[in-house]
Amino acid sequence: MQHRVALAASPTPAAEAAAAELRPLYPFVEFHEADMVVAMGGDGFLLQILHQMLDSRRILPVFGMNRGTIGFLMNEFRTELLFDRIRDARNFIIHPLSGHITTVSGERHHVPAINEISLLRETRQAAKLEVVVNGRTMLEELACDGVLVSTPAGSTAYNLSANGPILPLDSAMLALTPISPFRPRRWRGAIVPEATRVRFNVRDAAKRPVSAVADQREIRDVATVDIAIDRTRPLTLLFDPDQGLDERIAMEQFIV
């Protein structure tokens, strides 16, 4: 069966030029008619497309082609045989995080994250956080620049830059990684089952304000953040058979 494919392009010269090459070659349809999306751009644009789908609750498989900088989540850009590549692509299912955030003023927010949810200090004052795992206080006070919870798909992004572990895509684990921890000095994070529920309580939030960032969305002056995996809205990424996301994540462990 021929897929009905929509084309989305990042508003950058490289992505728009690539999309202009593709449009005369293939019978693309509008997004509301599609059952699959080709995304032209970089990793950030792909995350933006996935978040738009989560917000609209119309979630389609996405075949990304790199017209950005790194393109870790993307396939190589080629104009030829695009629909054949889509037909032969490997499916990778990823589950986003769900963050329930309460601010100091009492506002409540529900935000998804595909890579990670991070807490970051807003001022020169170190953040002080209570870390609660499955209802049990594991760290009464973590003094740090911040902390994050990462999915396997996001473990090679900000998590890796913060010296967090790389998680295989099928590991069913989450990485809990501190950012520049000051106390306790010897705590370097944890790997927990994906069914784990993590809560951060901000201590002395008025003096030491903390923001929460879910991928690209920031909420400032938070008081509590509850994080859990969301298995109700799976996302599907498509890759050429020789460019699987699982293989890329595995290979990152050998890059020096």
- pLDDT tens figures, 97-132: 999 999 999 999 999 999 999 999 999 999 999 999
Total residues belonging to the chain: 256
Beta bridge partners, 168, equal none
Cα–Cα distances (Å) from 215 to 125, 127, 158, 169, 190, in that order, read 23, 20, 10, 18, 20
Structure confidence at residue 256 (pLDDT): 64
The residue ranking higher by pLDDT, 232 or 248, is 232
CB count within 10 Å of CB 208 equals 18
5-24: per-residue pLDDT in tens?
A: 999 999 999 999 999 999 99
Q: Does 247 have pLDDT greater than 90?
A: no
- Tell me what the pLDDT averaged over the chain comes to: 94
pLDDT digits (tens, 9 = 90+) for 156-177: 999 999 999 999 888 999 999 9
Q: 3-state SS of the chain: helix, strand, coil percent to 5?
A: 20, 40, 45
Burial class (CB in 10 A: 0-12, 13-18, 19+), 202: buried
For the entire predicted model, the pTM comes to 0.90
* Rounded-to-integer distance, Cα 46 and Cα 15, Å: 12
Tens of pLDDT, residue by residue over 76-101, are 999 999 999 999 999 999 999 999 99
Rg (CA), the chain: 19
Which tokens hold the place of 202? 């901000």
Residues 214 and 104: their CA atoms lie apart, in Å, by 18
Q: What is the pLDDT of residues 171-225, one digit of tens each?
A: 999 999 999 999 998 899 999 999 999 999 999 999 999 999 999 899 999 999 9
- At 1 the pLDDT is 57
CA distances from 101 to 120, 189, 195, 221 (A): 14, 22, 19, 10
Domains in the chain: ranges and CATH:
5-95+233-252 (3.40.50.10330), 97-229 (2.60.200.30)
pLDDT in tens, 14-65: 999 999 999 999 999 999 999 999 999 999 999 999 999 998 888 999 999 9
Cite the active site residues.
43
pLDDT at site 186: 86
Query: Residue type at 94?
Result: I
Q: What percent of the chain has pLDDT over 70?
A: 99
Task: Say whether the peptide bond before residue 13 is cis (omega within 30 degrees of 0).
Answer: no
Average pLDDT over residues 226-234: 96
Percent above pLDDT 90 for the chain:
86
